[in-house]
Structure 1
Amino acid sequence: MSITLRQATAADVAAVLAFWRIAAENTNRSDSARAIQELITRDPQALLIAVHDEQIVGSVIAGWDGWRCHLYRFAVHPARRRQGIGRLLLDAAEQRFVALGGHRADAMVLNDNELGINVWAAAGYAPQSDCARWVKPLTLPHSSNEQGCVPD
């Protein structure tokens, strides 16, 4: 099995969306081609994909805002799980963070995502008990963005 890790490009946007529909555990998202393209334009190294035979089999967004290291959209194709693809992706993301000067990475995991909880724990991540995530959906006037802001 030959897995290639690389940064996603504009040519990958449609395939990334299709992959997330298959591999993502949380389907309550508003992913869009526009949002992915904007991410790639703003930070071309953030969206890492694992590819086998020209098919995406894994992904992770290694987001760095200059202060914190955030992991999003960590997913492995259901038929390719438990083959080390997730470990390769997380290692690459963590190496990116260290190179950028990051000291700690975080990931949001749904409370009822047992598979995700087990994967993150096996990778050395643990829940942070002293804080909770607070969210507020943002929307823009329809004239500038018909879909509003895309939640993560």
Structure 2
Amino acid sequence: MFDRIAANIPLAAVLMLLWFGLSGNQGWLFGTAAVLCALLVTNRLLHQDPERLSLAGLLRFSAWFVSRSFLGGLDVAWRALSPGKNIDNALFTHRFKTANPSARTVVIGALSLMPGTLSVAVEDDHLTVHSIAGDVHGQVESLEALAIDIFRPEHVHKGSEAR
């Protein structure tokens, strides 16, 4: 039991830092409850042991997602406010490289949250994506690589192999 609690500490710390940054150091009681709920959902719904999640992968994904969301928002605003038709609708199919259902779920959800893109359909190993910025296939591949890294365990340290 203590191993499971200890395994959640890095994720809890990252979530609390995010809460601190986004809330301006307000509402710590609510933030703590939100983090505890997030940890419960993560452990129950993803069916992943916390020690199988990569904190480094989660941080890389978070940085990429925040930066792409910001840049995507600027791009959508520019397209909406500039004269003429600047919408380059594209519908394309991405073939998943991973069979990990959690990584696939992250890709599908993140795409739908990013400005200008939408996950349209999933069929077998194929994801249909709609974009207003033309073919963003390279970005979808980058997103999938980052999502895969979230679910890779960190390298085992030499001193912990004998446990």
User: Which is strand-richer, 1 or 2?
Assistant: 1
Q: TM-score, normalised by structure 2?
A: 0.28
**TM-score w.r.t. length of structure 1:** 0.29
Which has the larger helix fraction?
A: 2
Of structures 1 and 2, the larger Rg is shown by: 2
Considering Cα pairs closer than 8 Å and 6+ residues apart, tell me whether 1 or 2 has the greater RCO.
2
